[in-house]
Amino acid sequence: MPSTGPADFTRVAWGTRTFLMGVLNVTPDSFSGDGLHRDLDAIVARAREIEASGADIIDVGGESTRPGHTPVTAAEELARVLPAVEAVRAAIRIPISVDTSKSTVAVGALAAGASIINDVSGLGDPEMAVVAATHACGLVIVHPEPVDPVAPLTSLVRALAQRVSAATAAGVSPGRVVIDPGLGMGKNWLMNFEIIRRLHELRALGLPILVGPSRKGMIGKVLGVGPHDRMEGTAALVTMCIAGGTDAVRVHDVLEMKRVAVVADALVRSAP
């Protein structure tokens, strides 16, 4: 079944509205407890629900990136991801991204039907950019590290610029690249808030911005609630990200955050 929508970022009308990436975890240890592991019936049902709720992309992840997670081998990640991507590709029409740090997993997922790499390591695997260039797929480059506490946004922009340069040097078209500041990845909760406050500074790179504020620990720090009780906090962060210039958000609660995004777009972009 062919993909429609933003599989090819060069054809996306960025800035016209906020695009939604729905999270589909196929791990047993997701921080938010939503990992479906290898239950393909449940995975397909969830994928269909994400699509029906208004997502533009489904992001399939086979390895948790929560703080303190246990790394898995490429073989284990492939065993989780490939059946999921194949089953989801047959069931839905929107594009699939693979949330991974391993180029071998990306290759397998692209062959199985994914069309976007969501690289949570920010090209930590030197072969990832080559894979993206060879397959002419979308590439999300995530900033996975701490930032300079004295000049956080300056260091963040600089590091992302270096990674984008590495990707384009490997042959990736700039029109296929999206950047992600990597909330919670090596950054404490206070720094996460600072990044969202100053998100507009990432516009200097001239690339679409994806942010993943969904159910983050920063919400728990403020409200004192667990991952399953962070809907309102996520809505507040999504709204502020849109006001700050993000082009897409990665979320668990797609239906609710779709509504939030539509209203925020009406305010920020004057979009109906």
Cα 225 from Cα 215, distance rounded (Å): 10
Query: What is the pLDDT averaged over residues 19-35?
Result: 75
Query: Is pTM, for the whole model, over 0.75?
Result: yes
Q: What is the pLDDT of residue 32?
A: 47
Q: For residue 29, what pLDDT band results from cuts at 50, 70 and 90?
A: low
Q: What is the pLDDT of residue 272?
A: 65
For 16-268, CATH number out of 3.40.605.10, 1.10.10.10, 3.20.20.20, 1.10.3720.10 equals 3.20.20.20
Q: What is the pLDDT of residue 151?
A: 96
Which of 23-32, 136-145, 219-228, 248-257 comes out lowest in average pLDDT?
23-32
Close Cβ partners of 2 (under 8 Å, ≥ 6 residues apart): 93
Cα 170 from Cα 155, distance rounded (Å): 23
Query: What is the pLDDT averaged over residues 204-225?
Result: 97
Query: What is the pLDDT averaged over residues 235-250?
Result: 98
3-state secondary structure 95-124: CEEEEECCHHHHHHHHHHCCCEEEECCCCC
Q: For residue 64, what pLDDT band results from cuts at 50, 70 and 90?
A: confident
Q: For residue 69, what pLDDT band results from cuts at 50, 70 and 90?
A: low
H-helix segments, 92-230: 103-112, 128-135, 152-169, 189-197, 217-223
What is the per-residue pLDDT across 71-120, written as a single tens digit (0 to 9) for each?
889 999 999 999 999 999 999 999 999 999 999 999 999 999 999 999 99
Nearest Cα residue to 139 out of 210, 222, 244:
210
- Whether 44 shows a pLDDT value over 60: the answer reads yes
Residue 11 has φ and ψ, to the nearest 5°, of: -110, 10
What residues are annotated to the active site?
216, 250
Q: Which residue has the tokens 């930590």?
A: 124
Nearest Cα residue to 194 out of 218, 216, 160:
218
Q: What is the pLDDT of residue 250?
A: 98
Q: What is the pLDDT of residue 270?
A: 86
- Whether 240 shows a pLDDT value over 60: the answer reads yes
Which of 39-48, 112-121, 137-146, 176-185 comes out lowest in average pLDDT?
39-48
- Where does residue 71 rank: exposed (0-12), middle (13-18), buried (19+ CB within 10 A)? exposed
What is the per-residue pLDDT across 149-193, written as a single tens digit (0 to 9) for each?
999 999 999 999 999 999 999 999 999 999 999 999 999 999 999
